[in-house]
Structure 1
Amino acid sequence: MSHGICSWSIAVKLNLVVLLLFVTSFSSCINDRVAEFALTTKEESDLNEENRKELVEEEEHLDSEDLEVFSPTNQWKTVLPGQAIPAGLHVQLNLQTGEKLAKLPDNNNEKSDVKDTPKSKRLGPIDIDPSSFTRQELKRALAKVKESMKTDDTLEQKAHQEDVRKRFRPIEKLKEEFRELNLQLETDFDIMFKLISKLNSSASTLEEKIAALYDLEYYVHQVDNAKDLLYLGGLQLLINGLNSTEPLVKEYTSFVLGAALSSNPRVQVAAIEGGALQKLLVTLATDQPLAVKKKALFALSSMLRHFPYAQQRFLKLGGLQVLRNLCSEKGMETLHIRVVTLLYDLIVEKLLLTHDNDTQTREITQQYSQVNLVPAIVEQGWCTIISNLLQMPEHDTREKVLKTVHVLLASCRDSYTGDHDLGHTLNLLRQEYEDLAAEEQKEGDEDGYFKELLSSINSIAQQLK
């Protein structure tokens, strides 16, 4: 009996030992599971106070850190602070040390996918899951991007400034260069002063004077420069140059004078007061080369146009007779049409002002009323002289003569009616221009040049009937 009790006692003790061992083992397993659970879920929970302070300190130094991407392997590997973790990795966090570990998944398919994917693609922004990054890591990345953009903008701005420095000079340098240029620049007034001084110098050669006159003609075309010519005494010097015995001096002096007088009333008045009209008429009336008379006629035309007082003086000084003799002089045929053109312009100029009732032109109209140019033309036999020029072969010359005949038709009717040569010439011209106008019409030109000449011839012939 005692032996049985002892056996039962021993059995109970053994069971208690086994139970105690089981409980101890179970408790250890439970603790291990809790620790494992803590390690796998801590990544998604809030950090402890110590880790929070560490992260705050890291955020304060964002500007000095570089964002890197964690490169995983098959073994657990420490994730350094500031490194971004790609998606799909196993991650563990040691709560005591704060160390973060990560490695590739154990699954063969996943491992194969990661290895087969190129590194540039694994680490690219497209394949990285944003949930794999902590809030602090994203802040660091954003700060780094902003800093990079700021650095790029600064570099681009510096490059642009350097490019501008290379392509353009500083404003101070430009101002200095302009000051130097201004010291060397000469105004038209200064140049004209030098040219006139050279003309007036007895030491100047004939070639130098001709060159000075040639250059001076370029400047006096401008109205203001022509007025400065008066101030410098150049106008009277030119007028006196018409008395030169050198044909070239007379030619170029007349050329410059005509340019200065053209459409410049102030210079016209000063020239006629200085005796230019008389000297030009003497040049045209005396034996001079064609080139000299051509330029003298140009200067005379510039003085008379739009200047009724000069036209009155021209008639009183016998200027119309001088031109008449010029038209009969041998070797001066090229000047005939120039003379006729001048007379036509002066006649039309007066007619246009006579029909203008503007109060501002009444005084000028009164001045023109004292210019009896057309009666003088009729009296001196210009009607026949002009009509005889229709025999010239040039179409342009015929056009100008026909226009002059037309404006003088009323005053020269008696001379033209009894002029059989004029009638014969008009018939020949009509036949010629009828053929030319027909050819124009065939070419599709309904209102051509020759048709206008034909119309002018028919109009004159009709009025003479």
Structure 2
Amino acid sequence: MHYKFLCVPAFLSLAVSVSASSGSFEDQICPDGGGACYPRIFEPSDNWQIIRPDQEVPAGLHIRMDFQTGLREAKYLNDADDTQQESSVIAIDEESNAAVVAGPLGMAEDSEEGTEPGSDDSRNIWGDSTYNHKPNPYLSASEFSEFSENLEYVISSAEPSHESTLDSSSSLSSSKPQHDANDSSNNDFAKLISSFKIIEDFAHEIDFGVRLAEPNVLSALLYILASHKKPEVRSLSARTIGAALRNNAPALDLAAPAKTITNLLQSIVNEPDSEVRARTVFALGSAIQGRFGRQEFWTSHGGESLRQRFLDSDAGDDYMGRCAIFVEDSFVNEDMISDTVTKSNENGLQLEMGQWCSAFQDALSQERVSNSDARNKIFSALVAIKTRFPTYCPVQDSFRQWIARKVDERAQLKRLQKPGSAVVIHSAQSDDSSFASEVEFMDRLVETRHVLFGNPKASRKAFVDEF
């Protein structure tokens, strides 16, 4: 017996508590575009029937959705359905169209006759017999339909035959789209951008994030990120992946077979556009939160891949700032670290943080960052590494000299500053808020100059003198 699997939120395979509003069963819905009218209230039976657009569904029915078509079907809830209320996958026998619950997000293979649903043979890919995902019961059928339609179009752009939006033979471009005489191509590109933005908006919801994390779907998004000729599309693909996986444990588990971390790192190494690289680091920060993420990052030599681009002369401020956030959140902050991975890779983690300590000092002391926001992020990550891994984060002479110059600059600034005036320093704009932000950054430099990056015993006197 062969099955195809429809991944649906659990609430779609439960007894649904939808209250029909008052009204006669003779009320009709007549589509504006023509076509036969049909009852406003869905009339259930013991067999699966399609729920028509805008139909009201009585309470206590078993509902399922086919994500390929976006259609919902419903029937009376029977005893067999009631015993499987926690299931999230419905297997459909393509010959008889009979629905069989295959277990929570199961990856069941062909089963012999008599195999009970939910048995060991129908566990999910991690061998778990439970699936911790509480679906959102307030998502509407129209939302699922809109999401499915746009996702189908996006996935189609990952096919080499989709010539209007994807040219697999061309090299990646970092330029913005130019006018194209081919109106069809322009229209397809606009449609793809629109569809991507729609599914990105939906991706923040756990149910839709789970759908996007399915290996076949995620693989298509990763392919688009790695090979689409338009940087706008690659950027949207990265943002969609990041939104789908962020703070979404079920989606993170599903994403592991697609080798998400490995593919994202490869895209960063090959990506010519600094903005797309920054968006991909965001996706990487979301993907690494899973229980398999950090291990895959170590195995794939993730730190080396990120630093390879970070040290480039054209790395880009946004990318460098994103790297700093990623390192601080993923490997320095206590709350973000898996104890198991940290203990098994303790020495490797320390050496890795030492490498980033050096890279961050170089970026600051060589004035490679022109954007003050990115600079502040890099300095924050450096302070965090030096605080937690002081032995593995030696201070470079060039960095001490850079701090000394900044402290002198701060002192001159305070002497030159007059009430009501605005002074431009470094990359700050000549307005009060930017000026205040720059002074705040320099104050932090003074505070950490001796405590972290100099002689702590001299810090008290120096702190008083410098302030």
TM, length-normalised to structure 2? 0.51
Deviations 1:411-446 (A, max 9, x none): 4557634x2211111111222334567899989x9x
Distance across 1 between alignment mates of 2:55 and 2:417: 62
> Cα distance, 1:259 vs. partner?
1.1
Corresponding position: 1:309 with 2:300: no
Instruction: Specify the code of the residue in structure 1 equivalent to 2:205.
Output: Q
| Equivalent pair of 2:242/2:284 in contact (CA under 8 Å) | yes
Match of 1:339 in 2: 323
Query: What secondary structure is seen at the aligned counterpart in 2 of 1:416?
Result: coil
Match of 1:182 in 2: 54
5 Å-filtered alignment, 1:7-406, equals 179=40, 182-183=54-55, 186-201=141-156, 205-206=164-165, 207=189, 208-230=191-213, 234-248=217-231, 249-304=233-288, 306-307=289-290, 309-334=292-317, 335-349=319-333, 351-352=334-335, 364-372=338-346, 374-378=349-353, 381-390=355-364, 391=367, 392=369, 394-406=371-383
Task: Structure 1 unaligned segments of length 5 or more: list them.
Answer: 1-170, 355-363
CA spacing shift, 1:232–1:272, aligned 2, 3 Å: closer
> Cα distance, 1:229 vs. partner?
3.2
| Equivalent pair of 1:383/1:412 in contact (CA under 8 Å) | no
Distance across 1 between alignment mates of 2:450 and 2:419: 21
Quick check: which one's strand share is greater? 2
Instruction: Specify the code of the residue in structure 1 equivalent to 2:343.
Output: S
Alignment length, in residue pairs?
280
| Equivalent pair of 1:308/1:367 in contact (CA under 8 Å) | no
Instruction: Specify the code of the residue in structure 2 equivalent to 1:405.
Output: L
Alignment match of 1:429 (pick from 384, 387, 406):
406
Instruction: Specify the code of the residue in structure 1 equivalent to 2:257.
Output: E
% identical equivalent positions: 16
Task: Structure 2 unaligned segments of length 5 or more: list them.
Answer: 1-21, 30-39, 42-52, 57-139, 166-188, 421-435, 458-467
Instruction: Specify the code of the residue in structure 1 equivalent to 2:143.
Output: D
Query: What secondary structure is seen at the aligned counterpart in 1 of 2:344?
Result: coil
Match of 2:394 in 1: 416
Corresponding position: 1:449 with 2:440: yes
> Cα distance, 1:454 vs. partner?
2.9
Distance across 2 between alignment mates of 1:177 and 1:388: 71
Query: What secondary structure is seen at the aligned counterpart in 2 of 1:214?
Result: helix
Instruction: Specify the code of the residue in structure 2 equivalent to 1:377.
Output: E
> Cα distance, 1:387 vs. partner?
1.0
| Equivalent pair of 2:271/2:277 in contact (CA under 8 Å) | no
Distance across 2 between alignment mates of 1:231 and 1:415: 40
Instruction: Specify the code of the residue in structure 2 equivalent to 1:283.
Output: S
Quick check: which one's helix share is greater? 1
> Cα distance, 1:455 vs. partner?
1.7
| Equivalent pair of 1:189/1:228 in contact (CA under 8 Å) | no
| Equivalent pair of 1:388/1:422 in contact (CA under 8 Å) | yes
Match of 1:360 in 2: none
Distance across 1 between alignment mates of 2:419 and 2:447: 18
| Equivalent pair of 1:416/1:464 in contact (CA under 8 Å) | no
| Equivalent pair of 2:403/2:445 in contact (CA under 8 Å) | no
Match of 1:460 in 2: 452
Instruction: Specify the code of the residue in structure 2 equivalent to 1:456.
Output: T
CA RMSD of aligned residues (A): 3.8
Distance across 2 between alignment mates of 1:412 and 1:222: 40
TM, length-normalised to structure 1? 0.51
CA spacing shift, 1:291–1:333, aligned 2, 3 Å: closer
